[in-house]
Structure 1
Amino acid sequence: MSDSDKTRAKTEQATGKIKETVGRAAGDEDLEAEGRGDQAKGDLRQAGEKVKDAVKRIHKD
């Protein structure tokens, strides 16, 4: 996984967690849901990059 992709995934996860927490504290269900969505997006991006890395390792050997 390239550093920029890794950073982007982690940023999405962190931003999502913040939105979810603020939304929950403020009673804003929409913001809370948006935060969960951002976290999921970051998780998927990270998983996709790990798959790419695994395929590259397989083809390299």
Structure 2
Amino acid sequence: MSKFEGKVDQLKGKAKETAGKALNDKSKEFEGKADQAAGKAKDSIDNASEKAKDKLGKLGE
């Protein structure tokens, strides 16, 4: 997983949310918010993974 994937999910989610608001489609709006949350979660997991790798790398030095 990469930060790129998380950002893409967030952008797609924002587009869905905006479309849902414009079309008064609550389902699409909610789906967009869920996609954004998933993207943010992917970013958080990626950040935690990078920090763990850095810590483990420092232990090996």
State the partner residue of 2:45.
48
Aligned residues: 58
Name the CA distance, whole Å, in 1 between partners of 2:45 and 2:21: 29
Superposed displacement of residue 7, structure 1? 1.4
Identity across the alignment (%) = 33
State the partner residue of 2:35.
38
Please report the RMSD computed on the Cα atoms of aligned residues, expressed in angstroms.
0.9
Bigger Cα Rg: 2
Moved over 4 A (4+): none
Superposed displacement of residue 6, structure 1? 1.5
User: What TM-score, normalized to structure 1?
Assistant: 0.91
Structure 2, unaligned stretches of length 5 or more? none
Asked if 1:14 corresponds to 2:11, the answer is yes
State the partner residue of 1:57.
54
Cα offsets for 1:21-59 (capped at 9, x unmatched):
010111000000000000000000000000000001111
Structure 1, unaligned stretches of length 5 or more? none
